[in-house]
Amino acid sequence: MRFSLHDFIMKGLIAAIGVQSDYWVILEAARWYDKGVLEDEDLIEIQRLIDEKNTPKPEPEPTPEPEPDVEPSDEDSEDEPIEPSEEEPSNDDTEEYPEEVPEEERMGEGEEDLVQETE
């Protein structure tokens, strides 16, 4: 296999596109062009690849995914309400504060000062 300086330089310049700045690639290509290693067609190819890299590619529109048809199973029957067990604590706050207690008195510690300051 015979070494080709032209192919070696072109391969290096093409690999530098997108890694090195555009002006660096252009200056290097012009330098090798002035030395007679690169030709007009090579500079055209390098410029085309730089332009291609700099052209924004349109993003494809996302395709909506179809919603799966879910049929309720026998276990997920909505007819039977779920009763809390006696072992589980109730989330109902009415036992902690009777209905006749004003809301200001239902606040936690340290919050009484805020209510008094605003009055």
Contact 72, 78 (CB under 8 A): yes
pLDDT tens-digit profile, the chain (119 residues): 899 999 999 999 999 999 999 999 999 999 999 999 999 999 999 999 999 999 888 888 888 777 777 666 655 555 666 666 666 555 555 555 556 656 666 555 555 555 555 54
Task: Please report the pLDDT score of residue 119 as a whole number.
Answer: 47
Task: Please report the pLDDT score of residue 49 as a whole number.
Answer: 95
List alpha helices for 5-118, DSSP H: 5-16, 22-34, 40-54, 112-118
Cα separation of 37 and 24, whole Å?
Answer: 17
Question: Of 93, 89, 86, 12, which is closest to residue 49 (Cα–Cα)?
Answer: 12
| pTM, two decimal places | 0.48
